[in-house]
Structure 1
Amino acid sequence: MDFLDNLRHAELAPILWVQGLPGWLETPLKVVSVFGTNGFVIVVLSVVYWCVNPRFGLRLGLVVLLSAGLNSIAKLLLQAPRPYWIDSRVQAFAREPTFGIPSGHAQAATVFSGILASASRKPYAIGAAVAFVALMGFSRVYLGVHFLSDVAAGILIGLLFLAAVLRWEKPVLAWWRARAIGAQIGLSVAVSLGVVVAALLASLPGAGWTLPEAWRFAGLVAPWEESRLAAISGGLLGAIAGGSVLSHKGGFSAAGSVKQRALRWLIGVAGAALIWAVLRLVTPQGPLLLTEAVAYLNYAALALWAVLGAPLVFVAVGLAERARPVAP
């Protein structure tokens, strides 16, 4: 066995010890883990973007999407098992079909709470972020889906990514705003497809990969993350292009009464649900490349609705105002 195999087997003992803690921990730790899921993050982002602060909501959404893309690329490159895949003694309180390292939940929690803490600039916000990340990491170990090293890697990558965002965000944004709208849309496509290309390159060393005999307890394994990458890259296209066009059109204000904000959220969700239902009906069946390409466009359409279409509807029906006058 190589070094990483030895490390993983050494980490089984602390996982088994953690899983030996009182059984009542299972339910609350599953709840904690939900806070790192795509569904929860999407709900939070929709509330922030449509009802609280559009600029911060878009910023948070783009950072989360880019971090998720980085996580998928790292998983494809490292191709590591999860604890319950290699040892039947580990209870799988949750099951995951993708490679294990780095922990996506730990990385997402680090980036998400880090952005919130940096925006708040309050000591208690930093403490809350640290506690949230630690609890998220603990939940993933307890549930049997990650090694301690998976969690540590997720936190480290999240911190490095967060530091890069805080360092380069302003100059990159200034450079972006100096480009013409057509160039911005073209660059949106390039960024989106860049994630796909990076993932393909990361997966090349594992071409022809098959499930090792040592991972025989894995159950269902679908490690290549095609659907997740389609969602991330398509979401990036729709969010970046939509945000660029909306900014060009004057943006929108999230101010208003509680009723107005609630109606905005309901209209936004209803529109997304309708688009998703229609797209599902017209999605063709066929080769993997075709279905994932269509999924990419579907997610791009959903993100475009969320970032651009819904705000334009809010303004049109009087539920929101332009954030600034539109340039002649």
Structure 2
Amino acid sequence: MDFLERLRYDEIDLILWFQALPGWLEAPLKVVSALGTNGFVVVVLSVVYWCVNPRFGLRLGLVVLLSAGLNSVGKLLLQAPRPYWIDARVHAFAREPTFGIPSGHAQTATVFAGWLALQARKPYAVGAAVVFVALMAWSRLYLGVHFLSDVAAGILVGLVILLLVSRLEKPVMAWWRARTIGVQVLLALAVSLGVVALAVLASLAGAGWSLPDAWRFAGFVAPWEESRLAAIAGGLFGVIAGGSVLFARGGFSAAGSLVARGLRWLVGVAGAVVIWLATRMIAVEGSIVLTEAAAYLGYAALSLWAVLGAPLVFVALGLAERARPVAP
């Protein structure tokens, strides 16, 4: 038994102690955990981008997407179990089919709340971010889906991402603005395919992998969710390319009445639903390459709609006004 394996078994006692706390904690901690899901984050980002501040929402969405891609690659590389996979005493209030470390919820919470706190530059914002991340970490331990080392790793990776973004955002954006739109779109494609390449390399590390006997309590396990990485990669292309094209043309203003903002959100969601249903109606059978390519294109279409198509429709319908041409 290696060091990490011994550490995980030592951490089981902490999880069991949390799960012995009063049962009324289950509901609120499940709510906290739901705040770290992809679905909730997407809803928040759509509200911010379409209805509050487009440039702010675009930057936040890009940071969250990059974090999600790195988290998925990290899970594939480290191949760590969940607590309930190895100990029947741990009650799984939720079940996850992917590897455990680093915790995606803890990492997303750190990047999302931390980035907002950095932009606010207020002590209360930093305090709120710390409380939110701590609650998210607690919820994942209580629910039995992560070890303390999982959430610690997720928070650490999230902090590193925030540090890099804070140091590199301005010079990278200045360099990006100096490129032509055609080059920006090609670079967006390169970044998104870079995530795919990292995923392929990480998957090679797990060639021939099978569920260890010690993980016999895991139930359904599907660690190599290539389609999730294809979705992230496609989303990255749509966000970067769509944002570059839109804001080079002037972007749009999120100002307006509550009714106008609400209508923008409804139109945007309706378009996304139509695209999502259309992609599901196109059945792709054959090799995994074709399946993942279809997933990539489908999520690229969704993100292009969200970032570029929907704002153009808002302007055409009179629900938003164009802004002056300034790069994001």
Alignment-derived partner of residue 234 in structure 2: 234
User: What is the 5 A alignment of 1:206-245?
Assistant: 206-245=206-245
Deviation at 1:325, TM superposition (A): 5.2
Within 5 Å, give how 1:77-226 maps onto structure 2: 77-226=77-226
Cα distance in 2 between the residues matched to 1:315 and 1:27: 42
Q: Alpha carbons of 1:58 and 1:199: their partners in 2 closer, same or farther (altered >3 Å)?
A: same
The corresponding residue for 1:16 is: 16
Output the CA distance in 2 between the equivalents of 1:158 and 1:49.
22
One-letter amino acid of the structure 1 residue matched with residue 205 of structure 2: P
* Whole-angstrom CA distance in 1 between matches of 2:306 and 2:170: 24
For the residue of structure 2 that corresponds to 1:206, the secondary structure is coil
- Root-mean-square deviation over aligned CA pairs: 1.1
- Change beyond 3 A, Cα 1:200–1:301: same
The aligned runs of 1:56-71 (5 Å cut-off) are 56-71=56-71
Give the whole-Å Cα distance in 1 for the aligned partners of 2:269 and 2:285.
27
Q: Deviations over 1:100-138 (max 9, x none)?
A: 000000000000000111111111110000000000000
Note if 1:49 corresponds to 2:49. yes
Q: Which piece of structure 1 moves more, 115-124 or 92-101?
A: 115-124
Contact kept in structure 2, 1:283 and 1:294, CA below 8 Å:
no
The two structures have a TM-score, normalised by structure 2, of 0.98
- Tell me which amino acid in the other structure corresponds to 1:104: G
1:72 counterpart letter in structure 2: S
- Percent identical residues: 76
Query: What is the DSSP-based 3-state SS (H/G/I as helix, E as strand, rest coil) of the residue aligned with 1:146?
Result: coil
Q: Deviations over 1:170-203 (max 9, x none)?
A: 1001101100001000000000000110111122
- 1:286 shift after superposition: 2.8
Q: Residue 283 of structure 1 contacts residue 291 of structure 1 at CA under 8 Å; is this kept in 2? A: no
Q: Which residue of 1 aligns with 2:252?
A: 252
Distance 1:319 1:5 in 2: 56
1:76 matches 2:81: no
Q: Which amino acid aligns with 2:32?
A: V
Code of the residue aligned with 2:158 in structure 1: it is G
Gaps of 5+ in 2: none
CA distance in 2 between partners of 1:285 and 1:266 (Å): 33
1:149 deviation in Å?
A: 0.2
How many Å separate the matches in 1 of 2:233 and 2:68? 10
In structure 2, the residue matched to 1:304 is: 304
Is 2:6 the counterpart of 1:3? no
Gaps of 5+ in 1: none
CA distance in 1, matches of 2:288, 2:220: 18
Tell me if structure 1 keeps the 8 A contact 2:247–2:325.
Answer: no
8 Å CA contact retained: 2:227, 2:295 = yes
Q: Are 1:27 and 2:27 counterparts?
A: yes
Bigger CA drift: 303-312 or 226-235?
A: 226-235
The whole-number CA distance in structure 2 between the counterparts of 1:325 and 1:256 is 19
CA contact (8 A) 2:248 2:325 kept: no
Contact 1:137–1:151 (Cα < 8 Å) also in 2? yes
Contact 2:107 2:157 (C-alpha < 8 Å) held by counterparts: yes
Write the distance in 2 (CA, Å) between the matches of 1:52 and 1:286.
43
Aligned to 2:262: 262
Q: Which moved more, 1:36-45 or 1:284-293?
A: 284-293
Which residue is equivalent to 1:319? 319
The answer to whether the Cα contact below 8 Å between 2:233 and 2:296 also exists between their aligned partners in 1 is yes
Please give the alpha-carbon distance, in whole angstroms, between the structure 2 residues aligned to 1:46 and 1:325. 22
Paired residue type of 2:310: A
Aligned partner of 2:285 in structure 1 is 285
- What is the one-letter code of the residue matched to 1:260? A
- Indicate if the aligned counterparts of 1:49 and 1:56 stay in contact, CA closer than 8 A: yes
